[in-house]
């Protein structure tokens, strides 16, 4: 086990629109949404009806397969609409928020005086158990199992990602409470990875009762899956839990204040964001709540998350449970005649040095969503290996997923990866293969056949 990890492979996307470190707006939402689609494998059970009054912390959904796992309303208000899709699939529970927020009182508790069972019961009752993600597969952690370790990435290297220190600079005490609680709950080590660039200065480096690691390198160095791979890889039959710093703060607030408080600083970013900055809001806020950050008359894509792994929610959509970033891009619906034959394209970035962007390494680009091509034959190459700092064979893993060959999927590392870990492979792919969707389908097959 190494406490200093240096990654040579990776790629930082030079994209315009990073959020300035100031909070431009405190959002009091009109309507926000709880989305069961944010959780892999969840079969939701609706606990409320349209017109019901809820408080922040009131359960609105439960997991049908494990009904003690609850999903709470982030705000107090009235259930405005239950949105369903094909075959009556539950997509959203929309809640019209009150002007003055009221909270369910779960009672402040001292973690030091609680048993592991009491900590688990507190998280389940308050609807914060879904904050714990289980690997392999990236599903909600099973309350009946124990992980071999818990991992926290205290920084993000994703394009235009929110600065973790700025977002949580006033909540380190809550983070420490959560770390203590989770360590006691799971009875294992809590590993916290910090950026080697400022490892000595970051407040996350001063957390107690953790195993601290410093990580350096380009994206995806900040991905918790990459960090797990280099610290304690997940083997068949093993389980690890991961939790984001944002959700750590929410867990800490539950024990310190007795409230389900998932407010967070959200970075509004992207080349088409007007004066990118932070807002203070809730998971599930609408894109309309940040309308002053974009020109609605333009043809834009609204992403909850970052450009590599985020979800296109549209102008009427809502942010995800785990996201603390919104990215606004121009839709790439403008095409060039014989564009592939023009080497001097100063406004485009190329990871493979096809253009001359490598001569201006500090330049930022107004990237859009244009793929500059379409899917074609999937050929074996070494492109993925240049941006994936994991000891895996991504081409063979992807082909095993396409063939639904579970034995080879296990052999080539399906237990170690989620979509975000191979997102850069998709970005640099010369065949324009939808790699993240292949991994999604592969994990779905594993869950169906192996769980």
* Burial of 283 (C-beta count, 10 Å sphere; 0-12/13-18/19+): buried
Query: Is residue 138 a part of any domain in this protein?
Result: yes
Which of 239, 257, 275 represents a domain boundary (last residue)? Answer: 257
CATH number of 234's domain: 3.40.50
Shared domain check, 389 and 245: no
What pLDDT, on the 0 to 100 scale, is given for residue 356?
77
Which of 238, 257, 276 represents a domain boundary (last residue)? Answer: 257
Shared domain check, 157 and 17: yes
What pLDDT, on the 0 to 100 scale, is given for residue 339?
65
Query: Is residue 52 a part of any domain in this protein?
Result: no
Place of tokens 């834009």: 300
Closest alpha carbon to 246 in 327, 130, 324: 324
Map 280-321 to HEC letters: EECCCCEHHHHHHHCCCCCCEEEEECCCCCCEECCCCCECCC
Integer angstrom CA distances of residue 65 from 44, 322, 398 = 9, 22, 30
Which of 257, 287, 313 represents a domain boundary (last residue)? Answer: 257
What pLDDT, on the 0 to 100 scale, is given for residue 341?
65
Query: Is residue 95 a part of any domain in this protein?
Result: no
Shared domain check, 397 and 252: no
What pLDDT, on the 0 to 100 scale, is given for residue 227?
98
Query: Is residue 225 a part of any domain in this protein?
Result: yes
What pLDDT, on the 0 to 100 scale, is given for residue 17?
97
Shared domain check, 393 and 253: no
What pLDDT, on the 0 to 100 scale, is given for residue 89?
95
Query: Is residue 179 a part of any domain in this protein?
Result: yes
Domain span at residue 237 reads 4-27+107-257
What pLDDT, on the 0 to 100 scale, is given for residue 1?
41
What pLDDT, on the 0 to 100 scale, is given for residue 297?
94
Tell me the average confidence (pLDDT) per consecutive run of 10 residues in the chain, 451 residues long.
Answer: 84 97 94 97 96 98 96 98 95 96 97 97 98 97 96 98 95 97 96 94 94 96 98 95 98 98 98 98 96 96 97 97 97 75 76 79 92 83 92 95 97 97 95 95 95 76
What pLDDT, on the 0 to 100 scale, is given for residue 344?
72
CA trace torsion 57, 60, 63, 66 (10° rounding): 50
Query: Is residue 78 a part of any domain in this protein?
Result: no
Please give the tally of structural domains in the chain.
2
Q: How confident is the model over 354-399, as pLDDT tens digits?
A: 777 777 888 999 999 998 878 888 887 789 999 999 999 999 999 9
Query: Is residue 340 a part of any domain in this protein?
Result: no
Query: Is residue 285 a part of any domain in this protein?
Result: no
Shared domain check, 12 and 161: yes
Shared domain check, 388 and 251: no
d(C-alpha 336, C-alpha 373), whole Å: 11
């Amino acid at each position: 086990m190494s406490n200093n990890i240096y990654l040579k492979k990776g790629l930082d996307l030079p994209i315009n629109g990073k959020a300035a470190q100031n909070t431009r707006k405190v959002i009091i939402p009109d309507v926000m949404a709880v989305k069961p689609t944010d959780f892999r494998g969840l079969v939701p059970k609706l606990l409320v009806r349209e017109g019901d009054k809820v408080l922040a912390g009131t359960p609105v959904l439960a997991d049908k397969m494990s009904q003690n796992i609850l999903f709470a309303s982030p705000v107090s208000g009235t259930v405005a609409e239950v949105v369903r899709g094909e075959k009556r699939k539950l997509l959203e529970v929309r809640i019209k928020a009150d002007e003055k927020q009221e909270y369910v009182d779960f009672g402040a508790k001292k973690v030091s005086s609680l048993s592991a069972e009491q900590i688990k019961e507190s998280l389940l009752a308050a609807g914060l158990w879904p904050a714990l993600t289980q690997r392999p597969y990236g599903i909600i952690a099973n309350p009946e199992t124990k992980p071999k370790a818990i991992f926290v990435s205290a920084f993000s290297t994703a394009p235009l990602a929110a600065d973790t220190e700025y977002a949580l600079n006033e909540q380190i005490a809550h983070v420490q409470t959560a770390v203590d609680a989770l360590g006691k709950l799971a009875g294992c080590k809590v590993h916290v990875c910090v950026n080697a660039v400022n490892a000595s200065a970051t407040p996350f480096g001063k957390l107690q009762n953790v195993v601290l690691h410093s990580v350096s390198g380009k994206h995806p160095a900040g991905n918790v899956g990459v960090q797990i791979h280099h610290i304690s890889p997940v083997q068949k039959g093993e389980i690890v839990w991961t939790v984001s710093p944002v959700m750590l703060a929410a867990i800490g607030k539950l024990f310190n204040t007795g409230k389900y408080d998932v407010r967070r600083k959200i970075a509004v970013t992207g080349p088409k964001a007007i004066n990118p900055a932070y807002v203070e809001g809730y998971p599930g806020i609408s894109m309309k709540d940040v309308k002053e950050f974009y020109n609605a008359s333009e043809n834009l894509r609204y992403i909850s998350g970052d450009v590599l792994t985020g979800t296109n929610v549209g102008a009427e959509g809502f942010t995800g449970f785990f996201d603390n970033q919104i990215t606004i891009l121009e839709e790439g619906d403008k095409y060039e005649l014989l564009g592939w034959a023009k080497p001097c394209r100063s406004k485009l970035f190329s990871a493979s040095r096809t253009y001359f962007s490598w001569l201006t390494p500090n330049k930022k680009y107004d990237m859009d969503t244009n793929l500059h091509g379409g899917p074609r034959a999937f050929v074996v190459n070494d492109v993925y290996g240049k941006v994936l700092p994991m000891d895996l064979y991504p081409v063979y893993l992807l082909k095993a997923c396409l063939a639904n060959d579970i034995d080879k999927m296990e052999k080539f590392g399906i237990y170690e990866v989620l979509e975000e870990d191979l997102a850069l492979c998709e970005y640099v792919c010369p065949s324009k293969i939808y790699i993240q969707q292949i991994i999604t389908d592969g994990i779905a097959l594993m869950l169906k056949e192996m769980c």
